[in-house]
Structure 1
Amino acid sequence: MDIEYQILNLYKTKQLDKCLKLCEVALQEKDNRMIEFVRMRAMTIQAKIVGNGYEEVEYYPQQDELVSTSVAKTPRPGTFFQRDTKTARNLETSYQKRTTATVRSRAGTNTAGARSMRTALHTASRMSRAATALTGGAPFTPGAPLSLRFLSKDDKLFTPASKTLFEYVYYVEGDVRKAMEVAFQAQKADDTSDWWWSFSLARCYFALGMHRHTEDCLRQALKQNKHISIYLRLVAMYVGLNQPISALEVCKQGLSVFHEYTPLLIEQARIHDQMGNSALAVKEYRMVALEDPSNMEAIANIAMYNFYNDQPEIALRYYRRLLATNPVGPEIYNNLGLCCLYCNQWDLTLPCFRQALYFSADPEIRSNIWFNLSHVALSTGDVTLAYRCLQVSLAIDSKNEASQHALHSLDARLRARKNVTT
């Protein structure tokens, strides 16, 4: 069988690893632009799959304190995200609420801060892209340069290959400035106005932190074509600028074109959640659940809202739905155990926490489960068992602040009891 046919067959059947190995063998024998093109497409698709092609919105972006932006430092109430900072003062006031909190685990990104209702389920939160324009998939970067990138702009193959070349440089190599050069050359060579190039330049400007240029390119692309990716990128830009009102306006404009589209509804709900409008956020999440009954994030947030509004029976129904429609994990069983505790279903409380401990592999998650077990022991009146559960929690994760405060207060209570008895 011809090696070129084998490469095309592997690429069409999505066997990308085998396709890349065969491309490497073929390119060692001779230079072939078609094989190089297929190789670039395969590597770009792999980078997109690793990073999840959905346009991620960062609600807690990495900000440099030395860089000043045009956003007002003291905006009007209701026009910015209410981001609570952790201090020693408000940590004690929020301890009572933390005692019934669900498992809180790091998502491994800079968006893993306190997220109010979004901590309802760790697996419900979206993982940020692993291969962005700045972090670029290093494992996919080849050692030798490709001759396809040296195509002249007068070549007939430049315009058809320019989009593939841009995505390769942007996703795989992670070189934003080189990707911008490709986009500028392609716009000059192509007479027709293509919205995709304006959108691609907006992604580059956004990665470089040039938000005003990003907005101009996105607005220009939106005039050329009403595409869902443009609306999502505009929402991401306004969220990064801490302008939720503008982001909500973009969501409304997008929903007028794409009626009841789930990603826009989710972004709208998240923005309301970050602004502290829990009731509006849950209303949006209910619309998402109606459109997509298997949406994990929407169901988890609805359950969390009902749990903290003294409706554990309703929250239990939603968590059981998650358990039936999604892969099992420690977070779901932990939340089920807490709901059973407050529903007075004592026969199911400990089995749920036992399953949570069985599936937990992260020390932080395991420590939080033992912290919740201490709360179960206190509910039954067994102070000694609660004390031991807190000790186990701190033995697993010594940085668990909730367990430290609980153990300190419980130790003080036991000492006071001994003094009274003596």
Structure 2
Amino acid sequence: MDNFIVAMSRYKRRKYDETLQLCDKMLENNQRDQAAWLLKCNCLVRKSYIDDLEIDEEGIGDILLDENTVSQFARPGTSFQRPITSRQGGGDINPIMRPMSKSGRPITGFARPGTNKPVSSSQNRLETALKGNRPGTTRPITSGGRYMRLGTASLASSGDQFLDANKLDMKKIAKKGAIAKAICNYLLYVEINPKKALELSAEATQISEYKDWWWKERLGKCYHILGLQREAEKQFQSSLKNENIIKTQLELAKVYIKLDQPITAIECYRKGLEKHPHEIQFVLGIARVYDQLNQQTKAVEFYKQVLAFESSNMEAVAQIAAHQFYIDQPEESTLFYQRLLQLGINTAELWNNLGLCLFFDGQYDLFYPCFERALQLADETNRAEIWYNISHVFIYMGEMGMAYQCLKMVLQFDPHHAEAYNNLGVIEIKHGNIERGKYELQVSMKEGEMLLEPHFNSALWAYNTCEYQDAFKLVNKAIFIYPDHEESIKLKKQIEDILKVF
């Protein structure tokens, strides 16, 4: 049988290493075999391909050199930097009931790139990017750094360089149709060289007389990777005029998200739904935007629509499960987590969440084995969170000694866990270790600048010890984090009444 037919068969079955070996043999016999060369190029692209629609993490360089902000003082709910934080404004996130990340964003039920996007000032955003949520998990220097990381392993395994991008004549290559498209994909996904890909796409777009939607989409992708979002927006819009493609619409919405225009991104997703009413990626996109704007009720409505189209969508099931738990319906949340178990998910996070749901549902004979299973499956990244949740179980049971030991275990695995420091501080103060408790609360405020509890607890303790100026500053910070916190509002009024007397 002809080697090319065998290579094509293995390529279709995704046996890329075997395909590359056959292509090398054919090219050794005939270096001008364009079919074998094209197959090898496509094989290398497939081997290194990543779904870059999900890569939207903000790098350190993107934060420092961000010139795309529309308004420095955006209205709440119209920017990812200023999500709705009060119920009067339409938000439905209660920081007391739902834990917040160190950047001030509610912890979602499904982790994905962008869920830890900071919401505070640019200085705090930079500090968060440099520090990372956990030691050793800092952001890449730029968003392109994430592409480089993901493509490194495939580049190392590819051996000798297939193409020398610096020696390519883009004007000649742009005239070769399928070969030009393969080289463009190679430059984007294998060599991670968007500048050369941009040069090739521009030449090919001119040759096609600006009528080929594919080259315009590639131009937009190159501009997006290089950080030129406005140029990328124009190219994606022009591509959609020639041909309404789902991926192009998703890329355009991604550009608006990068430009911090969530309302425009939602409109873009809705336009895509009008043309493709059964595409769940548009519904998921709308739900994710509402989720990042702290409008959980609206987000859950769209996640339910996703389940109506695809009942096995893990992200929608996990998000609804987390939402049901935080609105005090653990029995409903248990059903959704059981659904994830049926879908084949077997992770420490899932068993941890299921254990919490069973405990708060009153099924005390079932929650303990779930935490045991979670600890067995845990690794260094999530073991601290599981012990923190177990400490909460002991706190609800009144076993403060066991809760204290669990919190110490949390700090052993994660010395920067702000919530654990806060709870330790409260327990130390209740046991009479005043100075130690105050120190734990100070560390908690330092590690979690957007956490409500340590600021309120410190303000309350300063008020009780007649340190009214410090209490006033701390309670103002607590109200800034959560404007609807009734206890903080009452405490601030009491402090103001005392300060008026003086």
- TM-score, structure 2 normalization: 0.71
Q: What is the CA distance between 1:176 and its match in structure 2?
A: 0.6
Kindly indicate whether residue 241 of structure 2 is the aligned counterpart of residue 223 of structure 1. yes
Kindly indicate whether residue 274 of structure 2 is the aligned counterpart of residue 256 of structure 1. yes
Hey, what does 1:385 align to over in structure 2?
Answer: 402
Hey, what does 1:373 align to over in structure 2?
Answer: 390
Give the AA of the match of 2:221.
R
Give the alignment of 1:68-217 within 5 angstroms. 68-82=67-81, 96-97=96-97, 101=99, 115-116=105-106, 118=108, 120-122=109-111, 137-141=151-155, 142=158, 143-146=160-163, 150=168, 153=171, 158-191=176-209, 193-217=211-235
Hey, what does 1:284 align to over in structure 2?
Answer: 302
Higher mean Cα deviation, 283-292 or 3-12? 3-12
Hey, what does 2:485 align to over in structure 1?
Answer: none
Kindly indicate whether residue 60 of structure 2 is the aligned counterpart of residue 64 of structure 1. no
Q: What is the CA distance between 1:151 and its match in structure 2?
A: 7.0
Q: Supply the distance in 1 between the matched residues of 2:187 and 2:113 (Cα, whole angstroms).
A: 31
Identity value in percent: 29
Q: Supply the distance in 1 between the matched residues of 2:383 and 2:149 (Cα, whole angstroms).
A: 31
Give the AA of the match of 1:190.
S
Hey, what does 1:108 align to over in structure 2?
Answer: none
Give the AA of the match of 1:395.
Q
Q: What is the CA distance between 1:203 and its match in structure 2?
A: 0.4
Report if aligned partners of 2:56, 2:114 keep a CA contact under 8 Å in 1: no
Report if aligned partners of 2:55, 2:113 keep a CA contact under 8 Å in 1: no
Kindly indicate whether residue 423 of structure 2 is the aligned counterpart of residue 406 of structure 1. yes
Which digits, 9 at most, give the CA deviation of each residue in 1:129-152, with x for residues without a partner?
999766572333453343898578
Q: Give the RMSD, CA atoms, in angstroms.
A: 3.2
Give the AA of the match of 1:71.
V
Higher mean Cα deviation, 207-216 or 391-400? 391-400
Paired residue secondary structure (1:326): coil
Hey, what does 1:13 align to over in structure 2?
Answer: 13
Q: Supply the distance in 2 between the matched residues of 1:215 and 1:12 (Cα, whole angstroms).
A: 34
Kindly indicate whether residue 54 of structure 2 is the aligned counterpart of residue 36 of structure 1. no
Unaligned runs of 5+ residues in structure 2 are 84-93, 117-138, 435-502
Hey, what does 2:377 align to over in structure 1?
Answer: 359
Which digits, 9 at most, give the CA deviation of each residue in 1:273-314, with x for residues without a partner?
111211111111110111111111111111111111111111
Give the AA of the match of 1:286.
K
Give the alignment of 1:336-355 within 5 angstroms. 336-355=354-373
Q: What is the CA distance between 1:358 and its match in structure 2?
A: 1.1
Q: What is the CA distance between 1:122 and its match in structure 2?
A: 3.9
Hey, what does 1:333 align to over in structure 2?
Answer: 351
Report if aligned partners of 2:170, 2:200 keep a CA contact under 8 Å in 1: no
Q: Supply the distance in 1 between the matched residues of 2:174 and 2:293 (Cα, whole angstroms).
A: 51
Q: Supply the distance in 1 between the matched residues of 2:217 and 2:112 (Cα, whole angstroms).
A: 30
Q: Supply the distance in 2 between the matched residues of 1:327 and 1:382 (Cα, whole angstroms).
A: 32
Which digits, 9 at most, give the CA deviation of each residue in 1:192-249, with x for residues without a partner?
7210111110001111111111111111111101111111011101101110111111
Compared CA separation, residues 330 and 379, structure 1 to 2 (3 A):
same
Report if aligned partners of 1:390, 1:403 keep a CA contact under 8 Å in 2: yes
Kindly indicate whether residue 286 of structure 2 is the aligned counterpart of residue 272 of structure 1. no
Higher RCO, 1 vs 2 (CA within 8 Å, ≥6 residues apart): 1
Higher mean Cα deviation, 405-414 or 63-72? 63-72
Q: Supply the distance in 2 between the matched residues of 1:76 and 1:401 (Cα, whole angstroms).
A: 29
Give the AA of the match of 2:258.
G
Give the AA of the match of 1:256.
E
Report if aligned partners of 1:169, 1:176 keep a CA contact under 8 Å in 2: yes
Q: Supply the distance in 2 between the matched residues of 1:256 and 1:169 (Cα, whole angstroms).
A: 34
Q: Alignment partner for residue 310 of structure 1, among 308, 312, 328?
A: 328
Q: What is the CA distance between 1:393 and its match in structure 2?
A: 1.8
Q: Supply the distance in 1 between the matched residues of 2:145 and 2:7 (Cα, whole angstroms).
A: 25
Higher mean Cα deviation, 382-391 or 135-144? 135-144
Compared CA separation, residues 155 and 309, structure 1 to 2 (3 A):
closer
Q: Supply the distance in 2 between the matched residues of 1:131 and 1:17 (Cα, whole angstroms).
A: 26
Q: Supply the distance in 2 between the matched residues of 1:221 and 1:192 (Cα, whole angstroms).
A: 9
Report if aligned partners of 2:273, 2:279 keep a CA contact under 8 Å in 1: yes
Q: Supply the distance in 1 between the matched residues of 2:327 and 2:95 (Cα, whole angstroms).
A: 17
Report if aligned partners of 1:187, 1:197 keep a CA contact under 8 Å in 2: yes
Report if aligned partners of 2:300, 2:319 keep a CA contact under 8 Å in 1: yes
Q: Supply the distance in 2 between the matched residues of 1:192 and 1:210 (Cα, whole angstroms).
A: 20
Paired residue secondary structure (1:116): coil
Paired residue secondary structure (2:432): helix
Q: Supply the distance in 2 between the matched residues of 1:133 and 1:404 (Cα, whole angstroms).
A: 36
